[in-house]
Structure 1
């Protein structure tokens, strides 16, 4: 059974994630709801909070009280909030199953991280609404992603990554790009990066680290990316429109997080079906190696 302190801690984590996604500073939120900045930090750290204060925060951040309480499903159109919540959930997880194409971010290389801010900026069109704010948010997203990788590398969580051969092929052909109209020289460099990422995946399949499983799917993949996160007997389904690969997206769409039994069960069945038909170990490595050779 979840203790009251665990519930308060989870509430604090959601408060912080949705506050970060709103772009509001602790001072702005504290001033709006009539508390000190220190009090707001205590709420985000898991201190008890009165219902009227929680209602004011929810209104100011543009979310429902039920979302902040974690009752039912959480929805967010903010990539910062989404990746913050993902990081918070992963910090407590025992294992995760990932269908985020073309490869799981947690399994990418340091070079991927070096080029990712550039790719994210490229993905934002010059005429995009609030483009300046979107560009400013890239650094916050990168900080959150760095913490996600640090947690994964520090903890012994198990990762199952299911990748699509078709998405890998597209990744190799297009290169690690944020938009199509790049110079031949830049495109060639980005194709080198995508090739290195796929070769990295092949190496992990051929020389697996404890707790990492990778399967390659020839069949059609689900239209949306999702991740299943388990901690003990608790399971959370995370669905997201946000992409960190080629033609990245950190602006458009609504992500959902839910622990409801039916959607979790249905997605577990999808994972079981995909995994049972996936190319694993030597067969998976050979399939990806052929794609590298052909592209």
Structure 2
């Protein structure tokens, strides 16, 4: 048995990770319960955090193809699917007071509803031809969209503070090429997607101009890290997520390993990066003027 007095463990967090990794594997609750030889009700309780035996946790980790430390949240949590990663983001956002992040090209949480309508199609067209004969990749996209919509709904209901760093260098190709999953699309489709990209950029301009309570946006002009990162500040801790996944122009939701950790050194280093980028970022009227000039130059 796990003794929470000797080894303090947040069982609800373990259950949340279990759910995220199950989704990442494309397994239904019934399918995973059958593989584990337990009832659907038992798996439901496990995903709610009602799990105490190391033996059970070990079996779950083995079946999901992850390490026991990752499932328990010890050290660095490695997430090898975009579906699992976005579910972990949803879980972390549910309990945070502030989100600080460098997103490419813009924070999904701050996108328009129209963006959601196009994103599903873009992610599906990014699947290479002939690689989804059983429809698994397409189903994974549908699951991801459901998770993303749940994230945005929770954000709008809870309204945590958000500091969004937008890279100007990432925004330029987004406007130039449009919201596309690949570049061999018909000319009319590419034109439509470029209009969509312009709409999103203008949506960000309006957010900066209107200055909604709790939303801060900075436009970064210097080179930024190739991977995005988010810092989730919660009541009793902060969590860092580093991601190779992208939802904008030429999205990547197929390959990569994301990292989630509360390690002090990793937190401190990324807090310093965020503070530096924020300090040098354009804000307010300067950010609006820069974005409007960028839209006029690269948009359709």
Q: Report how many aligned residue pairs link the two structures.
A: 294
1:141 aligns with 2:144: yes
Counterpart for residue 161 of structure 1 = 164
Unaligned runs of 5+ in 2: none
Q: Which of 175, 183, 187 lines up with 1:184 in the alignment?
A: 187
Structure 1 residue matching 2:135: 3-state secondary structure:
helix
- More displaced 10-residue stretch of structure 1: 191-200 or 44-53: 44-53
Q: 1:130 to 1:79 in 2, by over 3 A?
A: farther
Query: In 2, are the aligned partners of 1:95 and 1:231 still within 8 Å (CA)?
Result: yes
- Verify: 1:31 aligned to 2:28, yes or no: no
**1:124, distance to aligned residue in structure 2 (A):** 1.2
The reply to whether residue 15 of structure 1 matches residue 8 of structure 2 is: no
Matches within 5 A, 1:104-253: 104-128=107-131, 132-253=135-256
Cα distance in 1 for residues equivalent to 2:161 and 2:176? 30
Q: Which runs of 5+ in 1 are unaligned?
A: none
- Cα distance in 2 for partners of 1:102, 1:131 equals 31
Question: In the superposition, relative to structure 1, how do residues 208 and 131 fare at CA in structure 2: closer, same or farther (>3 Å)?
Answer: farther
Q: Which string of whole-angstrom CA distances, capped at 9 and with x for unpartnered residues, describes residues 186-236 of structure 1? A: 111111100000000000001110000000111101111111111024111
Structural RMSD (CA): 1.7
TM-score (norm 1): 0.96
TM-score by length of 2: 0.94
Aligned equivalents of 1:64 and 1:218: distance in 2? 39
> CA separation in 2, counterparts of 1:86 and 1:247?
21
CA deviations on 1:261-295 (whole Å, 9 max, x unpaired) are: 10111011001110110000000010000011112
Structure 1 position 54, deviation (Å): 1.0
Q: How far is 1:29 from its partner?
A: 2.1
Contact 1:5-1:46 at 8 Å conserved across structures: no
**2:75 is matched with which residue?**
72
| 8 Å CA contact 2:101, 2:274 repeated in 1 | no
Q: Report the Cα distance in structure 2 between the residues aligned to 1:69 and 1:174, rounded to whole angstroms.
A: 42
Deviations 1:62-87 (A, max 9, x none): 01111111101111211111011010
- Contact conserved, 2:132 with 2:138, CA < 8 A, in 1? no
Show the 5 A alignment for 1:272-283: 272-283=275-286
On the 8 A contact 1:124/1:131 being kept in 2, the answer is no
Please give the per-residue CA displacement for 1:113-140, whole angstroms capped at 9, x wherever unaligned.
Answer: 0000111011111144777311111110
Name segments (4+ residues, structure 1) moved above 4 Å: 2-6
Offset at residue 156 of structure 1 (A): 2.5
Q: 1:122 to 1:129 in 2, by over 3 A?
A: closer
CA shift for structure 1 position 49:
2.9
Match of 1:287 in 2: 290
In structure 1, C-alpha distance between the alignment counterparts of 2:174 and 2:134, rounded to whole Å: 25
Change (3 A) 1:25 1:214: same
